Structure 1
């Protein structure tokens, strides 16, 4: 049932984006949708649904967007000054998150936030380039990592 539902969603999305209904397009759409559905059926419809995990992720995303807005304002303040007031640095820290999902989420969240870029990330070390000290201060053990730890507990 999960395979069929994934197939129908992907096929519908294909036709929505393509807008063409020639025989070759229809055949390619069916073949491609089936192959991708077979490979990713657990991605869209997992066997177990963890409602608490879904709620934590849905609460994390708006918070992350707000952090991105705040960091954009900070970068903008730096850019409009006549003299660029930056002090770039490399920050190394050991993350508290240990799962692959937690590490990936933390690394991508840091990179999405203006003023910081994750250079390297694994279970033992994170290397992050920060535009200035105000961007580096909350990296290790900050609010972002705490929120991701809460998500990680639900996995």
Structure 2
């Protein structure tokens, strides 16, 4: 990981001199140490880490797509109020996720998506405020939950 971070530092810096290399070595060492200590990433990576990284990238892309879609839906409801389907609603549902990190990621993903806000997360049970009935429908089987369940299976 150290070498990869150093190479990224040099490429993004655009120049190669002693000062750039020295700063890159220090920053890469600190980031490698922090990722080892805080994220439990081994210094040399591994095949499992590449799989996790690719899943994370696809999850972030999926999240960005869902944010864009939800933004368009919320804009439509603001511009055309008759499109709203019912009143705002608080919905409780059991995510079925076992790992606290995945539960937190789900709660944050729902909050980042316009039209919904995670109000509470306790023991895998989420309370979500939804702008209308359509946003509240099917939260327990949404794409975020499905992707995170697949992560737990692997």
The verdict on a shared fold, with TM-score over 0.5 as the criterion, is: yes
Is the CA contact (8 Å cut-off) linking 1:92 and 1:125 kept in structure 2?
A: yes
Task: Find the aligned partners of 2:73 and 2:83 in 1 and give their Cα distance.
Answer: 12
Output the TM-score relative to the length of structure 2: 0.69
Task: Please state how far the C-alpha of 1:25 moved relative to its aligned partner.
Answer: 4.9
CA change 1:45–1:92 in 2 (3 A) is farther
Residue 77 (structure 2) pairs with residue 78 (structure 1): yes
CA contact (8 A) 1:99 1:123 kept: no
| Residue 9 (1) aligns with residue 4 (2) | yes
SS in 1 for 2:140: coil
Which deviates more from structure 2 when the two are superposed, residues 140-149 or residues 94-103?
140-149
Structure-2 separation of matches of 1:61 and 1:19: 28
Return the alpha-carbon distance in structure 2 between the equivalents of residues 82 and 7 of structure 1.
53
1:40 aligns with 2:35: yes
Find the counterpart in structure 2 of residue 116 from structure 1. Answer: 116
Distance 1:68 1:44, change over 3 A: farther
Following superposition, the deviation at residue 31 of structure 1 comes to 1.5
Q: What's the Cα RMSD here?
A: 3.5
Q: Which has the higher contact order (CA 8 A, sep 6+)?
A: 1
Number of paired residues?
Answer: 149
The Cα of 1:54 is off from its aligned counterpart by: 6.9
> Tell me, which stretches of 5 or more residues in structure 1 are unaligned?
1-5
Q: Which residue of 2 aligns with 1:135?
A: 135
